[in-house]
Amino acid sequence: MAVISLTNPGHQHAFAATEAVIHKHSKTFYFATALLPRPARRAIRSLYAFCRASDDLVDCADSTLQDLEAWRRQVNLPASQQTNPLLLSWALVREHYAIDRRYEQELLDGIAMDIHFKPYATWDDLRQYCYRVASTVGLLSMPVVGYAKRSSFEQAAPYAIKLGIALQLTNILRDVGEDAGRGRVYLPEQDLAAFGLSSADILRQVYDERFVALMKFEINRARQLYAEALPGISLLSAAARPAVGAAALLYRSILDRIEANQYQVHTARAHTSSMRKLSMLPNILYKVYTTPRPE
C-alpha cells in the first residue's frame, strides 16, 4: 500500500496540481468535494484530475488510439515510477486505497470510444458509453469514501452506476451545441428519429418544437435516473453523503437551467451560479439525511 506523505515535496506538488485542475475545470465538483473530510477530498480530487487529463486526449483533434495506448501505459506505472504529477497523485491514491483497476481501464475504454467517435444508434449504446466514462468514476470513488454500516460495494454499485449515467446524460444535454460545433451528436439516432429529427439537424442547430420535445424527453430520462440513484447515497459513509448528494443534486439542477433557458443549448451553456449552489445546500443536506435506505 502506498503511503501518502504530505511532507514529501513530490507528493505535495502532485496534489497541488490536482487542486489546480479541479478548481479550473469544475466549480460544481470543487464545491461538492469541499464537503468531504480532507483525506477523502484529496483522493477524490486526484481521481477527477486523472479523469480530466485522460479526457483531454480526446480534445486534441489529431489524437489517435496509439496516443491513448501510450497514455494507458503511463497510467499503469506504479507511483514510484510516475513523473507526471497528476498521474503520481492518482497512483498514490489508487495504491493507498487498493482500488480495483478494472474500472480505471473501462474508463479509458470509454475515452477510446470518443477518439474514434461513432454516433450512437440506440439508448442502450449511449448508456454503455455513459457507464464507461462516468459510472466507472463512481465505482472508483467508493473505496475512498467508504460505506455505511452493513453496506458493501456490491450493494452500492448499482446506484453508483445509475448516478454516473444520469450525470453523463446531463453533460450531453448541456453540451449539445458545443459538441455539434465539433461535429458530434451524442443523442441516440433512435431518439432523434422518434421526434422527426436527424443528426444533421442537430449539427445545423435546428431549434423548433421537435427539438424541444426531444429535450423534454431526454431530461425526463435523466431525472428518472437521478431518482433511482439517489437512495444509494444512504449506503455510503455518513461523512461522504453530503458531498455525493451535493454533486448529484447540483448537477441535476443543470436540467432546471436548461428548461429555464427554453432548451437553447446551442447558444447558452446551462450552469448553476455559486450563490445558487449555496442557497441549495440546506435542502440538499436535508434530502441526503432523510432519504431512506433502500431495502
Instruction: Summarize pLDDT for 144-179 with one digit per residue, the tens.
Output: 999 999 999 999 999 999 999 999 999 999 999 999
Crossing angle between the packed helical segments 65-75 and 85-96, to the nearest 10 degrees: 50
Per-residue model confidence (pLDDT) at position 5: 61
**What total of structural domains would you count in the chain?**
2
Domain that holds residue 2: 1-99
**Cell representation of residue 11:** 507528493
Per-residue model confidence (pLDDT) at position 195: 98
- Per-residue pLDDT, averaged over 276-282, amounts to 80
Per-residue model confidence (pLDDT) at position 94: 95
- Per-residue pLDDT, averaged over 102-108, amounts to 96
Q: Which of 95, 88, 141 is nearest to 3 (CA)?
A: 95
**87 and 149 assigned to the same domain:** no
Residue 105 within a domain: no
Name the percent of the chain lying above pLDDT 90.
68
Per-residue model confidence (pLDDT) at position 62: 77
**284 and 149 assigned to the same domain:** yes
Rounded CA gap, 163 and 68, in Å?
26
Among 3-12, 83-92, 96-105, 133-142, which stretch is predicted with the lowest mean pLDDT?
Answer: 3-12
Q: What is the model's pTM?
A: 0.90
Residue 169 within a domain: yes
Per-residue model confidence (pLDDT) at position 110: 95
Q: Is the Cα torsion angle 152, 142, 39, 245 positive or negative in sign?
A: negative
- Per-residue pLDDT, averaged over 20-25, amounts to 75
Most confident of 65-69, 115-119, 191-195, 263-267: 191-195
**Cell representation of residue 214:** 426531444
Angstrom CA distances, 219 to 169, 212, 222, stand at 9, 10, 5
CB neighbour burial string for 207-221, b if at least 16 within 10 angstroms, e if fewer: beeebeebbeebbeb
Residue 138: Cβ within 10 Å count: 26
Per-residue model confidence (pLDDT) at position 24: 75
Among 25-34, 66-75, 127-136, 242-251, which stretch is predicted with the lowest mean pLDDT?
Answer: 25-34
**2 and 78 assigned to the same domain:** yes
pLDDT for 214 beyond 80: yes
Angstrom CA distances, 278 to 84, 150, 239, 271, 273, stand at 35, 32, 19, 14, 9
Residue 79 within a domain: yes
The CATH number of whichever domain residue 209 belongs to comes to: 1.10.600.10
Rounded CA gap, 73 and 6, in Å?
26
**93 and 121 assigned to the same domain:** no
Per-residue model confidence (pLDDT) at position 290: 84
pLDDT for 184 beyond 60: yes
Residue 30's pLDDT band, with cuts at 50, 70 and 90, is confident
Residue 22 within a domain: yes
99, 129, 146 - which closes a domain: 99
Residue 112 within a domain: no
Residue 108 within a domain: no
Angstrom CA distances, 218 to 61, 79, 209, 242, stand at 28, 41, 14, 27
Rounded CA gap, 40 and 267, in Å?
37
Per-residue pLDDT tens for 256-275? 999 999 999 998 787 777 77
pLDDT for 60 beyond 70: no
**22 and 82 assigned to the same domain:** yes
Q: What is the mean pLDDT of the chain?
A: 90
65, 99, 133 - which closes a domain: 99
**155 and 209 assigned to the same domain:** yes
**76 and 123 assigned to the same domain:** no
Q: Answer for the pair 202, 187: CB distance below 8 angstroms, yes or no.
A: yes
**74 and 135 assigned to the same domain:** no
Residue 104 within a domain: no
Angstrom CA distances, 188 to 106, 135, 169, 257, stand at 21, 19, 11, 22
**155 and 269 assigned to the same domain:** yes
- Per-residue pLDDT, averaged over 16-33, amounts to 78
pLDDT for 38 beyond 80: yes
**88 and 199 assigned to the same domain:** no
40, 64, 99 - which closes a domain: 99
Residue 183 within a domain: yes
**154 and 249 assigned to the same domain:** yes
**121 and 236 assigned to the same domain:** yes
Q: Which of 164, 163, 107 is nearest to 135 (CA)?
A: 164
**Cell representation of residue 169:** 446524460
Q: Is the Cα torsion angle 273, 276, 281, 284 positive or negative in sign?
A: negative
pLDDT for 23 beyond 90: no
